Amino acid sequence: MKNINLNNIKLVIFDVDGTLYDQSKLRKKMLVELIRYYIFKPWRFKDLLIVYHFRKEREKKAGQQINNLQEEQFKWCAAKINAPLNRIKEVVDKWIFKFPIKYLKESAYPDVNYFFSKLKENGVLTAIYSDYDSKLKLDSMNLSANLLVSSTDENINAMKPLPDGLNYILAKLNIEDKGKCLFIGDRQELDGICAERAGIPFLLIDNDNANDNFYKSLSNKLA
């Protein structure tokens, strides 16, 4: 972090899960809720397998370009769990897309909102590149960016570490000098390689430094 000069940066791109909020903290809350919910509904135990296989199959497809990714991700899970597609969508929507929303504000890393506001004050553009649609998550944390992009967007349809999402952001925001961009993410094997392939500087965040003074330190680097 010490070698980054944010005063030369024109655009900061953020991953979301594990980058803007403490994912381990959220998962602990999710585990408690899952146990509390399904202990009284054992006949729906298959739902837990749906959540597991949905995530697992997506991980397996890392680095692939897939037509209609938004729909295909549910079909991968359906093939593994032998459940109706509409049921898979219902469970995934409940536990992966909607459940985390109410906990994100309290799970957000310290000073992340302050860093976003300082970037805006300094005229630095912000963008989001996440594996999943991130609008509800950003709204729940009271964060906003100039552009939100997901791997499942119909004009992306590519899984990290393919650089399609980052290249789209650069083109959409008319950024020609990649050296004046910064991508912040929490997984070197996905976000880091993605940034490398796009030719964009990368900054790795981890749970320890993010809960300490990561975003505060970045904010202090702005003039």
In angstroms, rounded to a whole number, what is the distance separating the alpha carbons of residues 7 and 49?
47
User: How would you classify the pairing of strands 181-185 and 202-204?
Assistant: parallel
CB–CB of 158/116 below 8 Å? Answer: no
User: Which ranges constitute the DSSP H helices of the chain?
Assistant: 23-38, 46-60, 69-81, 85-92, 101-107, 112-121, 135-140, 164-172, 193-198, 207-212, 214-220
Over residues 180-192, mean pLDDT: 96
Domains of the chain: 6-23+108-220 (3.40.50.1000), 26-103 (no CATH)
Q: Report the alpha-carbon angle 38-40-42, nearest 5.
A: 60
- Distance between CA 202 and CA 195 in Å, rounded? 6
135 vs 131, 132, 139, 145, 199, CA distance in Å? Answer: 12, 9, 6, 10, 26
Q: What is the pLDDT of residues 41-75, one digit of tens each?
A: 887 889 999 999 999 999 999 999 999 999 999 99
User: Which residues pair with residue 12 across a beta bridge?
Assistant: 126, 182
Q: What is the pLDDT of residues 188-216, one digit of tens each?
A: 999 999 999 999 999 999 877 777 789 99
pTM, full prediction = 0.92
Distance, in Å, from the CA atom of 42 to the CA atom of 26, rounded to the nearest integer, reads: 23
